[in-house]
Chain A
């Protein structure tokens, strides 16, 4: 079953614009991670935010976590064509286990 649900399912923007993707989940988590996947290839880890953190930055990425609403958002600022990919949120819920539960992803298209 899917723990996380991303919104929107697809997003099309122009280069230079910001892209915001949201993720909602159902149960308490240890951490939430965001991954990027290009054209059905392997997943690239973007950022991990722990359950006791509210915001985290990495380069052009900004992630927020609201555990009271069981939601997270990923903001990509000043997007580039190379950011075109599918973005997934994944939650880790079991302490001591390395198990991720993924949402279905947001497909981001950045046009030049």
Chain B
């Protein structure tokens, strides 16, 4: 099976702009989770989607949002970008049925906000 894919891999934006990142899970996986990784805060959970519904959400402002489509692909959007949003954004997929399965991560999207 193909692994988790994320597009784009690199992105440069300026403050105030918005950005949309995409994640395609492993075929058959219905859960997609998003994480932000920064040197200061480490890996932090953003949100999880399962069957097109947000099932869990981390402690991030409302500027961070996401959605999941019927084919389980997911997008996350960050509006009104701030310098502190510069990070590696990782998505992970799992079957999602029991919530106890291994999560498989994509290569990440590195976002730089200038």
Residues of A within 8 A of B (CB): 2, 30-31, 33, 35, 40-45, 48, 50, 88, 90, 92, 94-105
Instruction: Return the CB mask of B23-44 against A: 1 if under 8 Å, else 0.
Output: 0000000010101010000111
Task: Report yes or no: B42 in contact with A105, Cβ–Cβ below 8 A.
Answer: yes
Q: Determine if B66 is an interface residue (Cβ-Cβ < 8 Å).
A: no
- Other than the given A2-B42, A30-B100, A88-B43, 10 more pairs (CB < 8 A) read A41-B107, A41-B108, A42-B90, A44-B105, A96-B99, A97-B55, A98-B48, A98-B50, A99-B48, A100-B45
- Give chain A nearest CB distance to B32 CB in angstroms: 9
Q: Which residues of B have CB within 8 Å of A94? A: 56, 99
Please indicate the chain A residues that have their CB under 8 angstroms from the CB of B90 in the complex. 42-43
Q: Which of A2, A30, A40, A98 has the most B CB atoms < 10 Å from its CB?
A: A98
The size bracket of the interface on B is 20 to 34
Determine if A92 and B99 form an interchain contact, defined as CB atoms under 8 angstroms apart: yes
Tell me if B94 counts as interface (CB < 8 A to partner A). Answer: yes
22 of the cross-chain contacts (CB-CB < 8 Å) are: A2-B42, A35-B105, A40-B108, A41-B107, A41-B108, A42-B4, A43-B92, A45-B102, A45-B105, A94-B99, A95-B99, A96-B99, A97-B99, A99-B33, A100-B33, A100-B35, A100-B45, A100-B92, A100-B103, A102-B35, A102-B43, A104-B42
